[in-house]
Amino acid sequence: MTVESPAPSTTPDAAAPAPARGPVRRLLGRRAARYCAVLIGAWLLSEVMGRLGVPAPALLAALFLGAALRLATGREVTVPAEVSRWTQAFIGVMLGGYLNLEAMRSVGPVLAPFVLISVLTIALSVAAAWLLSRWVTGLDQRTATLGLMAGGSSAVVTLCDELDARKDVVGVMQYSRVLLVSLTAPFVMVGLAGGATASARSWSFDLQIVGRGDQVAGLSTAFVFAMAGMWLGRRLHLPGGGLIGPMLLAAVMGGTELTRGFAPQGAFKELLLIVVGLEVGLMFDRRLLRRLAHLLPAIGVGILVLCGLVALLAAVAAHVTGVSMADAYLATTPGGINAVVASATGSAEADMALIATVQSLRLIIVVLALPLVVAAMNRFAGLKEARAAATTR
């Protein structure tokens, strides 16, 4: 007996799965509407804070609003994945735009001490994590090391499964440090710049979106660099490649002066910084914080100690090289590169060439060092297991 396959039905019953997409679309629509409302609210708040003279108002307004909404209401308002991906890429293009030949020449004579600080920052992160894991019950060394690793937050979190580390704890530690840097960098910049305060601004909307006269050509170039840079990051398997790929491509193309004026400016840059602030603020889920409440004091102490030690190294570098303390601090902060860029671009006195170059190099060093740290930790864990097995025989 032959059983024929049923022909495709044209009755309404054949479209039964279709209504299932309706609730999904409505849910996605509601989430998108909530996110757009939060985005507009953050922009309005940043305008108010800008009029009051608050430094880096776009970043801080979005950060405060995002954290307040998530902690107060518990509602899940997240930055869409594609928005986050493209924001990181355009931030990379903006960073790469500062790395031209003229900037590299001006930074060259004082670069060595700051590169040394970047290497020492990684060593301090590992040492502080070892001490923290010994001090705190329930916090293993692998989790503590990844949690305190300065820089490359997204890349570090992706290594949790490979290292058998607690992703929730690592995420809280990484983004707490980013939150601390994001909150303090604008005010530290103002304080270290000789007590100058940020100037209040009037209500305005800068229609310029890139740094050249032909806005369409400049935006098209930025888009191409962002898209090609993300592909390059995936192709080379770079941790954090969505930021580093566009940054390297923009640095090469801009540094060789093949093209200029593609870095986001004006309203475009403000929008990017608002998205960055929201992304950090919306990460703090009160349910997660309640679950990890017993670890938060120790985590806070570890982060503050690490930031304090790096600030001391920055002070030494400033004394040795003659660079201002404000520039040295922003160039060496342990992470929070987006917040640092926002703080620096908000000050006319900041040495953006130094800050962008050192921060970019530090990020690259951290990303390149991560596989070595992972390999060393795996080898150390293997030796411990072998010794334990030998002693039980």
Distance CA 86, CA 35 (A): 16
Exposure string for 308-337, b = 16+ CB within 10 A, e = fewer: ebbbebbeebbeebebbbbbbbbbbbbbbb
pLDDT at 292: 81
The per-residue pLDDT for range 115-155, each reduced to its tens digit, is: 888 889 888 888 888 888 888 877 888 888 888 888 766 65
Tokens of 42: 């953050």
Count of Cβ atoms closer than 10 Å to residue 109 Cβ = 9
* pLDDT value for 29: 67
In total, how many domains does the chain have?
A: 1
Task: Please list the ranges in the chain whose pLDDT falls under 50.
Answer: 1-20, 195-199
Whether 391 is in a domain gets the answer no
Question: Distance between CA atoms of 159 and 146, rounded to whole angstroms?
Answer: 8
- Output the domain CATH number for residue 232: 1.20.1530
The answer to the question of residue 109 being in a domain is: yes
Give the span between the Cα atoms of 225 and 305, in whole angstroms: 38
Whether 366 maps to a domain, the answer reads: yes
Tell me how far apart the alpha carbons of residues 240 and 367 are, in angstroms, rounded to a whole number. 7
Q: Which two tokens stand for residue 69?
A: 């909404």
Please report whether residue 265 resides in a domain. Answer: yes
Domain housing 143: 29-195+209-381
> Is the C-alpha dihedral spanning 217, 220, 225, 226 positive or negative?
positive
Instruction: Indicate left, alpha or beta for 139 from its phi (over 0: left) and psi (-120 to 50: alpha).
Output: beta
11 in a structural domain: no
Q: What is the pLDDT of residue 197?
A: 44
* pLDDT tens sequence across 350-377: 777 788 778 777 777 776 777 677 677 7
DSSP conformational letter for 265? -
- Quickly count: other Cβ atoms within 10 Å of residue 53's Cβ: 13
Given a contact cutoff of 8 angstroms between Cβ atoms, the answer to whether 258 and 247 are in contact is: no
- Whether 364 maps to a domain, the answer reads yes
Q: pTM for the whole thing?
A: 0.66
Question: What angle separates helix 167-192 from helix 266-281, to the nearest 10 degrees?
Answer: 130
Q: Is residue 283 part of a domain?
A: yes
- The answer to whether position 377 is within a domain reads yes
Q: How distant is the alpha carbon of residue 75 from its chain centre?
A: 23
